[in-house]
Amino acid sequence: MAPLAQNTTPAPTAAQIYKEDPAIAAKLTADDKVVEAESKEAFDKLPDAVRRRVKSVTIEKQENGNLGHTASISGNVTLNAQYFHNDGKDSETEVLYHEIGHAIDGATYKRNADGSDYSLSRDAAVQPLIHKVYPGQVNYEGWASMFGTYMLQKTGQREIKTDLDRQINQYFTTLMVGFTEPDTKLQGEFVNVKTGDLDVTVSTRSADRTVVATSADNGVKQLNNLTPHGLDITVSGKGALTENSYIDVTVETNLPVNDINKDEILTDTFKGTSYVPTQGDYKKSTQTARISLAGLTDGTQKEYVIQANEFHKDAPVMSNLKRIVTYQVYIDGTLQATKVLTDTLIPTEPLIDGKTSETQYVRTRGERVDARYLFNE
- pLDDT grade for 349, boundaries at 50, 70 and 90: low
> What is the pTM for the complete model shown?
0.52
- Mean predicted confidence (pLDDT) in 3-14: 70
Instruction: Please compute Rg for the chain using Cα positions.
Output: 25
CA angle at 57 for the pair 55 and 62, rounded to the nearest 5°? 140
- Mean predicted confidence (pLDDT) in 324-352: 85
DSSP state of 348: P
d(CA 220, CA 315): 9
Q: Which of 50, 222, 265 is nearest to 152 (CA)?
A: 50
Question: Does the pLDDT of residue 364 top 80, yes or no?
Answer: no
Query: Is residue 6 packed enough to be buried (19+ CB in 10 Å), middle (13-18) or exposed (0-12)?
Result: exposed
The per-residue pLDDT for range 247-290, each reduced to its tens digit, is 999 999 988 877 766 778 899 999 999 999 999 999 988 999 99
Residue 60: per-residue pLDDT = 93
Least confident of 29-33, 61-65, 205-209: 205-209
- pLDDT grade for 84, boundaries at 50, 70 and 90: very high
DSSP state of 245: -
Residue 8: per-residue pLDDT = 60
d(CA 333, CA 96): 26
- Whole-number mean pLDDT of the chain? 84
Question: Does the pLDDT of residue 93 top 90, yes or no?
Answer: yes
Residue 260: per-residue pLDDT = 65
Question: Does the pLDDT of residue 3 top 60, yes or no?
Answer: no
Instruction: Count CB atoms within 10 A of the CB of residue 38.
Output: 17
The per-residue pLDDT for range 39-61, each reduced to its tens digit, is 999 999 998 889 999 999 999 99
Q: Are 264 and 300 in contact (CB under 8 A)?
A: no
Instruction: Count CB atoms within 10 A of the CB of residue 100.
Output: 26
d(CA 154, CA 335): 9
d(CA 292, CA 312): 28
Among residues of the chain, what percentage have pLDDT more than 70?
A: 87
Contacts 24+ apart (CB under 8 A), 69-74: 69/99, 70/99, 70/100, 70/102, 70/103, 70/106, 71/106, 72/102, 72/103, 72/105, 72/106, 72/109, 72/140, 73/106, 73/107, 73/109, 74/106
d(CA 314, CA 188): 35
Least confident of 57-71, 111-125, 331-345: 111-125
The per-residue pLDDT for range 133-175, each reduced to its tens digit, is 999 999 999 999 999 999 999 888 888 888 888 889 888 887 8
Element (H, E) at 102: helix 91-107
Question: Does the pLDDT of residue 1 top 60, yes or no?
Answer: no
- pLDDT grade for 369, boundaries at 50, 70 and 90: very low
Least confident of 82-96, 195-209, 233-247, 360-374: 360-374
- pLDDT grade for 34, boundaries at 50, 70 and 90: very high
3-state secondary structure of 19: strand
The per-residue pLDDT for range 223-233, each reduced to its tens digit, is 888 889 999 89
- pLDDT grade for 16, boundaries at 50, 70 and 90: very high
What is Dmax (Cα atoms) for the chain?
86
